[in-house]
Structure 1
Amino acid sequence: MKRTAEKVLSVIAVILTAIGTIMGFLVMAVFNLLRNDPTFKQQIEMDLLADPALSPADVDMVLSLLNSAGGFLWIVIILTIISIILNIIGIVNIWKDKNAKLAGIMFIIAGLLAGILSIPSILLYIAAILCFTKKQPLQDDLQFEDQSYNSDGMRSL
C-alpha cells in the first residue's frame, strides 16, 4: 500500500527536528562560552543589582537559574535525538510496508519527545493518525472467468 503522505510528513519532521537539534547544540555552545566568561557574569550581576525592583536574593536566584540552564538544554537535546531515532524507526516500518500501527505509535512518541506543540510534532501526529486510519485495500484472490464466452467476446448460443 502506498503511504506517500505518511512518508513525506515523517521525513519533513525528521529534517525539522534535526535542524532544531543542531540549533540546540549551537545555543548550548554559546551558552557555555558565556557562562564560563567571568566578565559576562559580572556584567549580568551588575545589571541585575542596578535594578531597584530586584533584591539581592532575587539576583542570586537568577544567577543560579543561569547556571542550571545548561542541564535543561542537555535534556532537550537528548529528547530530540531520541525523537529522531523513533521517527526513523517509524519511517523504516512504513517504507518496508511492515506494521503501520507500530509506525503510528513511534510517530506519536517521537512527536511527544520533539515538543508537544512544535511543527515537527504536529506533522508526526498527522502521520500517526494516517497510519491508524488507512486500511489495506481488499484484494480478491479469486478471479472470475466466465467460460461461456469465446475468444471474440461473444457468447455462443
Structure 2
Amino acid sequence: MSRTGEIVLGVISAVFTIIAIIGVSFLVVSGSAAFQDEAINAEIQQEILNDPSLTGQDAEMVVQFLDVLPGMFSTFGWGFVVVLVISLVLNIVGIVAVMKNRKPKLAGVMFILAGLFAGIISLTSILLYIAAIMCFVRKAPAQLTDQDEYYKSV
C-alpha cells in the first residue's frame, strides 16, 4: 500500500517549518539589534517621558520595562525557534516511519506531536494532523484466501 499522501503532507509541512525557523530567527536577530540601538531607545524613552497621559511613576515603570524587553524578546524568540526545531525533527521521524508503510501508527503519533509543537492551529499543524489521520485510518487491502476464491467463483 502506498503512503504517498502522508509523505507529501509531511514534506510540505517540513518545508513550512524550515521557512518558519528561518523567519523567526531573522526576526529575533534583527529585533534584538533594534532593541539594543541606543538612539532608538533614547527616542522611545523621551517620548514616554513627554507623554502627558502618563504620570511620572507610570513613565518610569514603562522605561524600566523597556530595559528588560530586549532580553525577554530574545529569550522567547529563541525558545520558539527551539520548539520549531523539535517539531521539524518529529516531522522527519514521522516521514521516515511512514515510508514503505513500515510503521504508520508511529508516524501518526509523530505527526500529531510535530503538529502540536508547530502551533496548535497553523497551516503546518493542520497538514500534519491530516497526515496523522491518514496514517491511522488507511488500512492495507485484505488479501484473498483460497476459500474466498472458491466462494467468489461459485
The answer to whether the superposition gives a TM-score over 0.5 is yes
Name the SS for the 1:52 alignment partner: coil
Equivalent residue, structure 1, for 2:133: 129
Which residue of structure 2 lines up, in the alignment, with residue 38 of structure 1? 38
How many residue pairs match? The answer is 145
Higher radius of gyration, 1 or 2? 1
Gaps of 5+ in 2: none
Alpha-carbon separation, structure 1, partners of 2:133 and 2:22 = 28
Give the secondary structure class of the aligned counterpart of 1:96.
helix
User: In the alignment, does 2:130 pair up with 1:105?
Assistant: no
Counterpart residue type for residue 15 of structure 2: I
Q: Gapped runs of 5+ residues in structure 1?
A: 146-157
The two structures have a TM-score, normalised by structure 2, of 0.85
CA RMSD of aligned residues (A): 1.8
1:85 aligns with 2:89: yes
Q: TM-score, normalised by structure 1?
A: 0.83
Paired with 1:42 and 1:67, the residues of 2 have a C-alpha distance of: 17
**CA deviation digits over 1:115-156, x for unaligned, max 9?**
1111101110111111111112111254848xxxxxxxxxxx
Please identify, of 26-35 and 136-145, the stretch whose mean Cα deviation from structure 2 is larger: 136-145
Q: Supply the distance in 1 between the matched residues of 2:137 and 2:121 (Cα, whole angstroms).
A: 22
Deviation for aligned residue 1:2: 1.2
Whole-angstrom distance in 1 between the partners of 2:121 and 2:69: 25
Aligned amino acid, residue 92 of structure 1: V
> For residues 82 and 25 of structure 1, what CA distance do their matches in structure 2 show?
15
**Could you tell me which residue of structure 2 aligns to residue 50 of structure 1?**
50
The ranges of structure 1 where at least 4 consecutive aligned residues each deviate by more than 3 angstroms after the TM superposition are: 141-145
